[in-house]
Amino acid sequence: MLFKIPKAYLRNLSKIKFYFNNFRVIDWRAYLGLSLLPFLRKLPKIFTNTTLVNSFLINLTTISCFLAFTFGINNCFDIETDIAEGDINKNPIAVGKISFKNALIAVLIIGILGTAILVFYTLNLEVILTYLLLLFLGGFYSAPPLRFKTRPFLDIISHGFFFGSLLYIYGCLIQGNNVLTVIRNPLVPLIFTYSVILNLRNHWEDYNFDLKANINTTATYLGYERTQKAIVFLTQVHWVMLVTFCSVVSFQIFVATLMLFFIANVLFLFRLIKLEKWLRVVDIFTIVSYMMLSLH
Biggest alpha carbon distance in the chain? 75
Percent of residues, the chain, with pLDDT higher than 70: 94
Q: For 9-163, where are the E strands, in sequence order? A: none
Mean pLDDT, residues 277-287: 91
CATH fold group of domain 15-178: Tetracycline Repressor; domain 2 (1.10.357)
Q: Are 134 and 174 in contact (CB under 8 A)?
A: no
In this structure, of 63-67, 132-136, 268-272, the range with the lowest mean pLDDT score is 268-272
Q: What is the structure's pLDDT at 1? A: 41
Nearest-angstrom CA–CA distance, 77 and 83: 12
Q: What is the structure's pLDDT at 6? A: 57
pLDDT digit string, tens, across residues 163-213: 999 999 999 999 999 999 999 999 999 999 999 999 999 999 999 988 888
Q: What is the structure's pLDDT at 73? A: 97
Number of H helices, E strands in the chain: 16, 0
Q: What is the structure's pLDDT at 14? A: 65
Q: What is the CA radius of gyration of the chain?
A: 21
Nearest to 197 by CA among 227, 152, 169: 227
Question: Helical H runs in 78-124?
Answer: 79-85, 100-121
Q: What is the structure's pLDDT at 4? A: 56
pLDDT band per the 50, 70, 90 thresholds, residue 273? confident
Q: What is the structure's pLDDT at 9? A: 45
Q: What is the structure's pLDDT at 234? A: 97
Nearest to 174 by CA among 292, 40, 54: 54
pLDDT band per the 50, 70, 90 thresholds, residue 12? low
Average pLDDT, the chain: 90
pLDDT digit string, tens, across residues 79-110: 888 887 766 678 999 888 899 999 999 999 99
Domains of the chain: which residue ranges? 15-178, 185-213+220-296
> Is pLDDT above 50 for 219?
yes
Nearest to 283 by CA among 225, 223, 224, 231: 231
Q: Are 130 and 170 in contact (CB under 8 A)?
A: yes
Chain CA centroid to CA 90, Å = 17
pLDDT digit string, tens, across residues 228-269: 999 999 999 999 999 999 998 888 999 999 998 899 889 888
Q: What is the structure's pLDDT at 270? A: 82
Name the 3-class secondary structure at 272.
Answer: coil
